[in-house]
Amino acid sequence: MSVRPTTGDAYRDWGPPAAPVEPRVEDGARIADDRTVDCDVCVIGTGAGGAPLAKELAEGGMRVVMLEEGRHFTTDDFTARPREMSTILYRDAGQTVTVGNVPIILPLGKGVGGTTMINSGTCFRTPPPVLEMWSERFGLDELNADELDPYFRRVERELNVVQVPEDRAGRNALVVKRGADALGWRGDFIWRNARGCVGSGVCSFGCPTSAKQHVGLSYVPRAWAAGATTYTECRAERIEHDGRRARGVIARAAGGGTVRVECAHVVVACGAIHTPVFLARQGLGGHSGELGRNLAIHPATAVRALFDEEIEMANGVPQSYFIDEFADDGIMLEGAAGPPDYAAMSFPFSGERHRELMLQFRNIGQFGLMVSDLSRGWVRERAGRIEIRYDLGPEDTATFRRGIERLCELFVAAGARAIYPPVTSVAELTGGDLEPLRRAEVKAQDLVLMAFHPLGTARADARRDHGVVTGELRLHEMENVWVSDASVIPSSIGVNPQITIMALATRLAYRLLGKAAPDDEPEPESIARPRITQPHALTA
């Protein structure tokens, strides 16, 4: 078995130049007529779940049509200015928010590549204990580490998943590592899907150098090269079906026309917020009452700290280091950094105090914290609007409290002069004194939260009465409608989910093609092995 390099030079190298591919894009903004196209598989959505599936099917000889509500952006569109980019690359300019006991911003990407276009590029396989728990709780026996290994390898090779070398990690991460090392906490540089990354620090606003291998840059062009077509700015509105089989999909084009896709299979890959709403509109997926429920989001926050030394958090890979010392307690610490205009939107305080803090931007460090949530929310459509309800439960609130305290301890160990926890009643900690935080009563509404990983709203469960799709990702009640996105993931997984979603999508493609798993994928020289041994917090 060959070995694929994943360290040092493998990260810095651009690798062999990709052959230019003619985009096979039909621009929905120019479609004013009503047209019908014919294919084997219609894939709705071109994100982490849709794009790998489309590529594998097209390369396997199937005729594939992708429908995408957003536009097709190229690297030339990416200006590296967060304020400009968030208005065009994010759905609702990044202002999707949950309602509940604490508002949580839940940004989503919209365009060819979906949310991978604006994600941080962190790559983790599903931890094996999580897969074991899926088998026990959801009857997903086939989704075990051995079965998925060839698909993980394939995805990781396609995306060039490699480990960030120290010289690209940025000072922000190195200062955090210094603190973690002083405390004896376990961590490592993150494995990412990148080729020739220069550490420009704006992954979440469209990589301006084509280094980040988001699926709109990697998988979708490979699908085009194999004959697939993407209809952009075409929003799928209806699946034509008789309750057992689907015949086709009707999409509304931004130019006013319609595209009717006649197909043998429909794959819904709109993401965990839009897939359940779309299926509910079709009268599909509702048999068990689980559609739209079981929403896990991996709620997250960040702690900032002021240092005497210059940190320059805008330089380097923004999410380049992780600390899994507390992963079994449901707490994963991961980098979070960015340029000043991004920071200005999220730093605490207002008015003169905010200005003073921003003037010290060069000396401020920041690190993130993600919780494997026990809380569950739901998604539904009401009066034409999508409503996302999520209440942070007391156990998760307590986990946040512990995680924030750990991060503050880390910043003290790293030598911070002042620390800014994301807790409204404790604005600032100075002199290494964490007592005000330890004494504070922290309720959910006192926390400043975001979330980046909606999961579970069309969950896979082998039992018809408990899930929306089977372990094969087919809607329980339909013969030829499949779901391939974050909504099928049945629980929190404790790590960033894109590789899980892509591996499941690749497996589904192999099943639809009737092919055995690939047996020639190289073994990675190294791979992240986060310390999650007891996924206790994931089984709500």
Binding site for ligand FAD (CB under 6 A): 44-50, 67-70, 107-111, 114-116, 118-122, 204, 235-236, 269-272, 274, 278, 319, 452-453, 485-486, 496-498, 501
Q: Please pick, from the candidates 101, 144, 209, 315, the single residue that binds ligand SF4 as defined by CB under 6 A.
A: 209
Least distance in angstroms from the C-beta of 233 to ligand FAD: 9
Out of 116, 122, 126, 200, point to the residue binding ligand SF4 (CB under 6 A): 200
Angstrom distance (rounded) from CA 72 to CA 56: 20
Applying CB under 6 A, among 45, 47, 107, 121 the residue interacting with ligand SF4 is: 121
| Cβ proximity to ligand FAD, 216 vs 471, nearer residue | 216
Buried/exposed code over 371-392 (b: 16+ C-beta within 10 A; e: otherwise): bbbbbbbbbbeeeeeeebebeb
Cα angle 12, 323, 423 (rounded to 5 degrees) comes to 120
357 binds, among ligand FAD, ligand SF4, none (CB under 5 to 8 A by kind): none
Q: Does 297 bind ligand SF4 (CB under 6 A)?
A: no
Site for ligand SF4 in 300-359 (CB under 6 A): 317
For the bound state, the minimum distance from the C-beta of residue 501 to ligand FAD, rounded and expressed in Å, comes to 5
Two tokens at 129? Answer: 């204990």
Structure tokens at 535: 């996924």
Residue among 211 and 249 whose Cβ is closer to ligand SF4: 211
Tell me which of ligand FAD, ligand SF4, none is bound by residue 209, counting a contact when its beta carbon lies within the kind-specific cut-off of 5 to 8 angstroms.
ligand SF4
| Residue 198 site contact among ligand FAD, ligand SF4, none (CB < 5 to 8 Å, cut-off depends on kind) | ligand SF4
* Residue of 207, 268, 379, 455 interacting with ligand SF4 (CB under 6 A): 207
Question: Is the Cβ–Cβ distance between 387 and 97 less than 8 Å?
Answer: no
Please give the Cα distance from 50 to 46 (Å, whole number): 5
Q: How far is 393 from 135, CA to CA, in rounded Å?
A: 26
Min dist CB 37 to ligand SF4, Å, is: 35
Q: What is the pairing mode between strands 3-4 and 523-524? A: parallel
Sign of CA pseudo-dihedral 304, 125, 540, 204: positive
Decide which of ligand FAD, ligand SF4, none touches 406; Cβ closer than 5 to 8 Å per partner kind.
none
Q: Which does 212 bind (CB under 5 to 8 A by kind): ligand SF4, ligand FAD, none?
A: ligand SF4
Axis-axis angle for helices 498-513, 50-59 (nearest 10): 30
Counting contacts by CB under 6 A, is residue 217 touching ligand SF4? no
By beta-carbon proximity to ligand SF4, the closer residue of 207 and 267 is: 207
Which of 28, 113, 165, 201 binds ligand SF4 (CB under 6 A)? It is 201
Amino acid at site 209: T
Q: Tell me which of ligand SF4, ligand FAD, none is bound by residue 42, counting a contact when its beta carbon lies within the kind-specific cut-off of 5 to 8 angstroms.
A: none
Residue closer to ligand FAD (CB basis): 107 or 403: 107
Stretch that binds ligand SF4, among 17-25, 199-207, 240-248, 408-416 (CB under 6 A): 199-207
Q: Does 254 bind ligand SF4 (CB under 6 A)?
A: no
Find the shortest distance in angstroms from Cβ 9 to ligand SF4. 15
Q: Are 487 and 459 in contact (CB under 8 A)?
A: yes
Residue 214 near ligand SF4 by CB under 6 A: no
Distance of CA 135 to the CA centre of its chain: 23
Closest residue to ligand FAD using C-beta atoms:
47
Please report whether residue 123 would count as binding ligand SF4 according to CB under 6 A. no
Q: Give the nearer residue to ligand FAD in terms of CB position, either 48 or 469.
A: 48
Closest listed residue to residue 22, CA positions, set 229, 265, 312: 229
Are 278 and 268 within 8 A, CB to CB?
yes
Alpha carbon distance 184, 372 (integer Å): 23
To ligand FAD, the closest distance from the beta carbon of 438 in angstroms equals 31
Residue 498: both structure tokens together: 């894109």
Q: Which does 207 bind (CB under 5 to 8 A by kind): ligand FAD, ligand SF4, none?
A: ligand SF4
Question: What does the H/E/C string look like for 446-496?
Answer: HECEEECCCECCCCECCCCCCCCECCCCEECCCCCEEECCHHHCCCCCCCC
3-state secondary structure of 38: strand
Catalytic site residue 453? Answer: yes
Instruction: Establish if 170 lies at the interface with ligand SF4 (CB under 6 A).
Output: no
Pick the stretch among 86-94, 140-148, 190-198, 215-223 that binds ligand SF4 (CB under 6 A).
Answer: 190-198
Asked if 460 and 473 count as a contact pair (C-beta separation under 8 A), the reply is yes
* Least distance from ligand FAD to the Cβ atom of residue 497, Å: 5
Q: Are the beta carbons of 96 and 273 closer than 8 angstroms?
A: yes
Q: How many residues in the shown chain lie near ligand SF4 by CB under 6 A? A: 14
The strand pair at 41-44 and 265-268 is best described as: parallel
Q: Which of 72, 453, 466, 476 is catalytic?
A: 453
- Which of the choices ligand SF4, ligand FAD, none does residue 317 contact, using the CB cut-off of 5 to 8 A by kind? ligand SF4
Residue 85 touches ligand SF4, criterion: CB under 6 A: no
What is the SS3 string spanning 383-450? CCEEEEECCCCHHHHHHHHHHHHHHHHHHHHHCCCEEECCECCECCEECCCCHHHHHCCCCHHHECEE
Residues with a catalytic annotation lie at: 453
Residues in the site for ligand SF4, rule: CB under 6 A? 121, 194, 197-203, 207, 209, 211-212, 317
